[in-house]
Amino acid sequence: MFLDRNDYLEETFFTFPFSPIRDESGSVGGLFHPVTETTSRMLSERRTRGLGDLAARAGKAQSMEEACTLAAQTLADCELDLPFVLFYLFDTLRAEARLIASTGLQPGGNASPATVNLEAPQLPSWPLKEATVSTQPQRLADLESRFGHLSCGPYPESVKEAMVLPIIPPGSGQAVGVLIAGVSSRLPLNESDRAFRDLLAAGVTAAVANARAYEEERKRAEALAEIDACQDRVSFLM
């Protein structure tokens, strides 16, 4: 159900049990109809399923780009909680951010540029430069003033808030990229929602870290193979 409370339509869940109330003759003279809100439990179950799917799919990635792509494909099914998601990875010098994958917003749009110059970002923009050195999620509550009406997700209302979540693999002092996750226009950004986004960032970070380790191991194996090939050629010539 969508209730008009807290000055907006809010997605809510309730149970409606019905129990007969019998009169002195044994006939049903009325109904006992308690109403119990189950929003917190239903949202928790829904989000847990999404996080499980994310771990199962993105964990198979063999490159950081593939990890972002698989994560975006998985999170496309979570539009009730995540009306849009953007994945940006930084170059080695952290001078440019490149949009790797997205859901909910068309790549190249006002709020989803294909590339962002971190040294001189064009307005409007996301605070990606801050994410290169930040270890904390950043909440943006002014999306309409930054980007105008953001029509995405299942509802007609514009998405007004988002969280910018840095992707910081273990052992890395700085972010290698960011996950930008929109907040549903019909759900509050409360403690439960923040916890979900923290787990989301952790899941994406784990997938990216595993894929990064795989890439590095593959490069080492290719370098060793090249050295062996060179030694074989030298031995043949001798």
Residue 136 DSSP label: S
Tens of pLDDT along 137-194?
Answer: 999 998 999 999 998 889 999 999 999 999 998 887 789 999 999 999 999 999 999 9
Mean pLDDT confidence for 7-27: 91
Mean pLDDT of 65-70: 95
d(CA 221, CA 81): 41
> pLDDT higher for 234 or 224?
224
How do 115-117 and 138-140 pair as beta strands?
Answer: unpaired
- Residue 221: pLDDT band (50, 70, 90) is low
In terms of Cβ atoms closer than 10 Å to its own Cβ (0-12, 13-18, 19+), residue 10 is middle
| Domains detected in the chain | 2-36 (no CATH), 61-237 (3.30.450.40)
Cβ partners under 8 Å of residue 46, min gap 6: 78, 80, 81
> Which among 89, 34, 35, 41 is positioned nearest to 61, based on CA atoms?
89
The answer to whether 64 and 92 are in contact (CB under 8 A) is: no
113 preceded by cis ω (within 30°)?
A: no
